[in-house]
Amino acid sequence: MAVHGLLNIDKPPGLTSFQVVAQVRRLSGEKRVGHAGTLDPLASGVLPVGVGQGTRVLPYFLGLPKRYRAEVELGASTDTYDARGRTTSRGDFSAITQGEVEQALAPFRGRIAQRPPPFSALKLQGRRLYELARQGKPTQPPQRWVQVYELKLVDFSLPLVRLEVECGRGFYLRSLAHDLGQALGCGGHLRALVRLRYGPFSREEAVPLPQLNIPAHLLPLDAPLQALPPVSLREEEAQAVVRGQALALPQEAREGQRFRAYGPQGLLLAVLRWEGGRLRPEKVFASFS
């Protein structure tokens, strides 16, 4: 029997996101399994996993905010910007004050330009940056604009500082740790990381991998789409959407606005997008009509 839906998994440290996907694939018997928002092996916390048709919903996570608790160790920089890497420099952190850390954090709030780590999965001329770095050819990737909605110091206990961060797509906590160490003049790297929330998925509701029971923990396809306005379709409208046809709405919407559309049986049928005065199917889950 086909399995379709989403899982909110509490990834343990030490596993890659791909290894979590492999375990879910084995447990579910479903070939189509994927995840949203890679967590490094060092990190733990919320990892959304899609199963079956749930893999087609995962792209809608990408624009949603994420919240982390990060532990930064001052006094040493590493080539990977985290605790797994080779130490590249050391500095004296003993005189740094909490006030200096607070002051150093200020430029990292809001819309900022950030340089990703040289050890990352980003591609340069078709090659992953971590592949180049492992071959002794570390590359400085270009800066990218990222959004930091909230950044606060929650604990100061040298050489460790603990932060809570709410950020948007493409933000690297490893880069934040490294850049903070540089701003303080002593170096720093990411020692531990927990993803507390990703969109509507929270760690309080996440399932530890050893306790995963897929039938019991499977969430519906519309779980990450609750911020989209709902639209209920009549039978003839649902059939038109499944055929890829656009619909008119009695009210106006803003250009590009998305809606979650439900068929007559109350199940998620499609994601619709308002374009040129009509609702056009962006993604159709025809098997649920």
pLDDT digits (tens, 9 = 90+) for 163-181: 999 999 999 999 999 999 9
Task: Give the CATH number of domain 5-64+199-223; options: 3.90.1150.10, 3.30.2350.10, 3.40.50.620, 3.40.50.2300.
Answer: 3.30.2350.10
Q: Look at residue 118 in the predicted model and tell me its pLDDT.
A: 80
Cis, bond preceding 159 (omega within 30 deg of 0): yes
Asked if domains 5-64+199-223 and 228-288 share a fold, the reply is no
> What is the domain partition of the chain in residue ranges?
5-64+199-223, 66-196, 228-288
Indicate the pLDDT class of residue 117, thresholds 50, 70 and 90.
Answer: confident
For residue 23, count CB atoms less than 10 angstroms from its CB and return exposed for 0-12, middle for 13-18, buried for 19 or more: middle
Q: Look at residue 6 in the predicted model and tell me its pLDDT.
A: 96
Checking if the pLDDT of 222 tops 90, the result is yes
pTM for this entry? 0.89
Q: Look at residue 2 in the predicted model and tell me its pLDDT.
A: 76
**Residue keyed to tokens 């071959």:** 135
Q: Look at residue 288 in the predicted model and tell me its pLDDT.
A: 43
pLDDT tens digits for range 118-161: 866 555 555 555 554 455 555 677 788 999 999 999 999 999 99
Average pLDDT score over residue span 246-252: 79
Q: Which tokens sit at 81?
A: 């910007």
Q: What is the architecture of the domain spanning 228-288?
A: Roll (2.30)
Considering only residues 88 and 121, tell me which one the structure prediction assigns the higher pLDDT: 88
Q: Contact 201/189 with Cβ under 8 angstroms?
A: no
Q: Look at residue 134 in the predicted model and tell me its pLDDT.
A: 59
The fraction of the chain above a pLDDT of 90, given in percent, is: 75
Nearest Cα residue to 244 out of 282, 275, 278, 288: 282
Parallel, antiparallel or unpaired: strands 268-275 and 278-284: antiparallel
The fraction of the chain above a pLDDT of 70, given in percent, is: 90
Task: Give the CATH number of domain 66-196; options: 3.40.50.300, 3.30.420.40, 3.30.2350.10, 3.40.50.720.
Answer: 3.30.2350.10
- C-alpha dihedral sign at 242, 244, 250, 251: positive
CB atoms near residue 83 (< 10 Å)? 16
Considering only residues 112 and 267, tell me which one the structure prediction assigns the higher pLDDT: 112
Cα–Cα distance between 133 and 3 in angstroms, integer? Answer: 39
Residues known to be catalytic: 40
pLDDT tens digits for range 8-66: 999 999 999 999 999 999 999 999 999 998 898 899 999 999 999 999 999 999 889 99
Checking if the pLDDT of 255 tops 80, the result is yes
* Sequence-ordered list of residues with C-beta below 8 angstroms from that of 119, at least 6 positions apart, any chain: 79, 80, 81, 85, 129, 130, 133, 134, 138
Q: Look at residue 182 in the predicted model and tell me its pLDDT.
A: 97
